[in-house]
C-alpha cells in the first residue's frame, strides 16, 4: 500500500580521534609508544570510538605504556583491553564515544518508547507543533497483513478528516504563532502509527544496554526492527563492542545479548 511505510535507520556520525592532538599529549607525557597500539588497532579494524575508550581505560591504570606504572611489566593491545574492560565491568569508559543516527519513517509508537531511555542518549524528533501533515503515512506491522485493506480504510479516512479540519482551521491564517497553535491542536486527531523522524545520539555503553533490551523477543515489533538495523550498521565497525554478542533468530529478527555484560 502506497502510504504504508517501514522504518529505516542511517548512521550519520561517530566520535573520531584527533590524532595530531592525541600525539601531542603522548609526546608531552612521554608515552609515544601508544601510537603504535593505535596503528595496530586500526589494522584490526577497530573504530576510533573504541580506541578512544581504550585510551581512557588505560589512562585509569597508567597503562598506555609500561613506563608510568611500576606495577605493570606489559600492556594489552587495544582489542584485548576492550575485552578486559567488558569482563571487569569497567564499562563506564564506553561512555566516551557516541554514535549519531537518524531514523526515518518511524512511528510515534516507537518514538514514545525510545525517548524513555534517559542515560547516555539525546533525541530530536519531528515537531507536531510546527509540522503540518500533508500526507498521512503509517508504519504498519506485517502481522496485520490479512487486514491491510481495512487498515488502509482507517488511514485514508483519518487523512481526509485531518485535511478537512485543517482546511477549515488553517486556510487564510498568516500569523505564524496562530498557525502553530492550530497545527498543535490538530495533531491530537492523528494516530500513533503516523510516520515521522527522530535523530538519536547514544554512547557505546548505553548502546549495548539498548540493543539487548530492544532486540529482545519481548520487545515491540518496530523497536526490534530498528535495533536490528542499528546492530547491522554498527557491528562490523565496532568489533570490540560486539565481541561478546550472541545472536538468536526470533520471529525473523535477531535477539542480541552480550555475554559479558553485567551492568
Catalytic residues: 214
Shortest CB 182 distance to ligand FAD, Å: 30
Shortest CB 172 distance to ligand FAD, Å: 41
For the chain, what is the largest distance between any 2 Cα atoms, rounded to a whole number of angstroms? 78
3-state secondary structure of 12: strand
Cell numbers for 134: 500533508
Q: Which is nearer to ligand FAD, 58 or 205 (CB)?
A: 205
Shortest CB 91 distance to ligand FAD, Å: 11
Q: Which is nearer to ligand FAD, 97 or 158 (CB)?
A: 97
Contact positions toward ligand FAD, by CB under 6 A? 116-119, 209, 213, 218-219
Number of H helices and number of E strands within the chain? Answer: 9, 8
Q: Which is nearer to ligand FAD, 118 or 168 (CB)?
A: 118
Cβ-proximal residues to 27 (8 Å cutoff; 6+ apart), any chain:
none
3-state secondary structure of 66: coil
By DSSP bridging, strand 138-139 and strand 121-125 are unpaired
Cell numbers for 37: 597500539
Amino acid at each position: 500500500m502506497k502510504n504504508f511505510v517501514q522504518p529505516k535507520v542511517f548512521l550519520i556520525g561517530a566520535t573520531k580521534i584527533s590524532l595530531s592532538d592525541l600525539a601531542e599529549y603522548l609526546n608531552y607525557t612521554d608515552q609515544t609508544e601508544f601510537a603504535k597500539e593505535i596503528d595496530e588497532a586500526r589494522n584490526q579494524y577497530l573504530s576510533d570510538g573504541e580506541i578512544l575508550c581504550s585510551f581512557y581505560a588505560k589512562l585509569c591504570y597508567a597503562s598506555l605504556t609500561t613506563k608510568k606504572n611500576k606495577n605493570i611489566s606489559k600492556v594489552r593491545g587495544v582489542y584485548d583491553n576492550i575485552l578486559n574492560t567488558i569482563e571487569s565491568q569497567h564499562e563506564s569508559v564506553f561512555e566516551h564515544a557516541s554514535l549519531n543516527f537518524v531514523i526515518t519513517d518511524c512511528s510515534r509508537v516507537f518514538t514514545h518508547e525510545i525517548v524513555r531511555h534517559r542515560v547516555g542518549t539525546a533525541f530530536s524528533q519531528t515537531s507536531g507543533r510546527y509540522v503540518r501533515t500533508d500526507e498521512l503515512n503509517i508504519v504498519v506491522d506485517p502481522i496485520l497483513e490479512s487486514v491491510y485493506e481495512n487498515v488502509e480504510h482507517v488511514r485514508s479516512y483519518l487523512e481526509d478528516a485531518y485535511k478537512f479540519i485543517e482546511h477549515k482551521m488553517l486556510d487564510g491564517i498568516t500569523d505564524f504563532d496562530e498557525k502553530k497553535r492550530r497545527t498543535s491542536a490538530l495533531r491530537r486527531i492523528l494516530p500513533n502509527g503516523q510516520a515521522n523522524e527522530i535523530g538519536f545520539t547514544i554512547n557505546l555503553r548505553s548502546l549495548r544496554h539498548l540493543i539487548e533490551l530492544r532486540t529482545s523477543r519481548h520487545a515491540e515489533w518496530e523497536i526490534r526492527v530498528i535495533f536490528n538495523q542499528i546492530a547491522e550498521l554498527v557491528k562490523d565497525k565496532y568489533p570490540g563492542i560486539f565481541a561478546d554478542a550472541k545472536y538468536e533468530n526470533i520471529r525473523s529478527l535477531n535477539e542480541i545479548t552480550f555475554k559479558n555484560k553485567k551492568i
